[in-house]
Structure 1
Amino acid sequence: MRPYWFALVGMMAVATGAAQAETENYAIDPSHTFVTFEIGHFGASTNRGRFDRKEGSVQLDRTAKVGKVEISIDMTSVSTGTEAFNKFLQGFEIFDSATYPTAKFMGDKFSFSADNVSEVAGTLTLLGKTNPVVLKANQFRCYRSPVYLREVCGGDFEATIDRVDWGMNYGLIFGFPRTVHLVIQVEAIKQ
């Protein structure tokens, strides 16, 4: 009976090792990752901007259909195409980037459609406040990069948030909307 026990324990150890080996680590590719926001402007047009500096990592197990993602966003890197507007957004009435220079998304609940990520639920920390956010994938795919000669996974994700949940109240009395549309283009390189 003892040899059987050792064989069973050995098989379990091999199976556990194989399951753990499925988790792959990826580093965010900053040249293919952008966090973009859109907010209405008096119902006449849409203000848009993006953050140019970000970093992070992804852990993905497509077999077990689980993952984790962490993206840090440099709030001082906001870019709208107009320097005066960039400075206004960095000011205390909007992003207050002097006090809160970094925003962070952390997601640990991945949903899949077949083999592709369909949404990631997690939290967004902005202006010192953390609230839940669900990013829905418009597309997702892994491919072998001819540049990096490694696997790259990425997609286009989006969410609509209520900025008031983070204490961003500027412009409400003028009729600016509470809702902000986030569009996140992300690609990560297998390590």
Structure 2
Amino acid sequence: MPTASRLSLHRLCLAAALVLSWPTHAQSPAAGAAPEMAARPAGPPQPGGRYVVDPTHTFVLYEMGHYGTSTNRGRFGTRDGQVQVDAAGQLARVDVSFDMASINTGVDLLNRHVQSSDFLNVADFPTGRYEAEDVRIEEGRVQVLRGRLTLMGQTHPVDMRAVRFNCYVSPLHGRQVCGGDFEAEILRSQWGINWGLQFGFEDRVRLLVQVETVLVPAAAR
């Protein structure tokens, strides 16, 4: 065998031996080690704190029956919003605005129809809004938001039930984040959204709101 070939083979065997003999603990993180992206619990909302909506984690979704068979679903993005906490650490005000033109049903043709004057008339009413100043809290946890929903220029009372609510310290923001999932049922005809009722589209609509808000630093309030 040529000298160069013997030298290459020797190096290959030596490299393989080093790999096989390398300690197992050097190849993987120690058991139980927390990843750098792990969130930390943060307790309840900060008394007197103001939180602003994180639009990448806040959406309004709807579900509406379709001819008594399947369910039509869509999602709206948020424009802005905030949550104000009083001195006692209770939610005092919730205010979220959402972008009606951002509707996404998964079907472009249906998106355009929902945006039209048949449904939401986005050209004249580009923004929806939910406001609540009456928050029911039991055993330190948010239970119900008693507020009002504005669509198509009309405002009516809507209570949002909390499915879950929690706070944590975000590894991305380095600040406390509070949020949860909320749900309600409405009759869309109350807001003048009547198209399709005569065809079998249901009047009753389920709303689901997922929201996360980030604590504003005291110096910026």
CA distance in 1, matches of 2:87, 2:201: 41
Specify every segment of 5 or more residues in structure 2 that has no aligned partner in the other structure, as ranges: 1-45, 217-221
Paired letter, 1:102:
T
SS in 1 for 2:172: coil
1:182 Cα deviation from its structure 2 partner: 0.3
- Structure 1 partner of 2:20: none
1:146 Cα deviation from its structure 2 partner: 1.2
1:61 Cα deviation from its structure 2 partner: 3.3
- Structure 1 partner of 2:125: 100
Q: 1:62·1:115 contact (CA, 8 Å) conserved in 2?
A: no
1:60 Cα deviation from its structure 2 partner: 1.9
Q: Does 1:163 align with 2:163?
A: no
- Structure 1 partner of 2:168: 143
- Structure 2 partner of 1:31: 56
**Structure 1 stretches of 4+ moved >6 Å:** none
SS in 1 for 2:56: helix
1:24 Cα deviation from its structure 2 partner: 0.8
What does 1:22-61 align with in structure 2 at a 5 Å threshold?
A: 22-61=47-86
Deviations 1:167-187 (A, max 9, x none): 111111112111100000000
1:23 Cα deviation from its structure 2 partner: 1.7
Paired letter, 2:146:
A
Paired letter, 2:207:
L
- What's the TM-score, normalizing by structure 2? 0.75
CA distance in 1, matches of 2:148, 2:87: 22
- Structure 1 partner of 2:29: none
SS in 2 for 1:32: coil
1:64 Cα deviation from its structure 2 partner: 5.2
- Structure 1 partner of 2:209: 184
Q: 1:123·1:131 contact (CA, 8 Å) conserved in 2?
A: yes
CA distance change for structure 1 residues 64 and 128 in 2, over 3 Å: closer, same or farther?
Answer: same
Specify every segment of 5 or more residues in structure 1 that has no aligned partner in the other structure, as ranges: 1-20
Larger radius of gyration between Structure 1 and Structure 2: 2
- What's the TM-score, normalizing by structure 1? 0.86
- Sequence identity, in percent? 43
Deviations 1:60-102 (A, max 9, x none): 2383534101111110110111111100000001000001001
What does 1:5-154 align with in structure 2 at a 5 Å threshold?
A: 22-61=47-86, 63=88, 65-154=90-179
How many pairs are equivalent?
171
SS in 2 for 1:75: strand
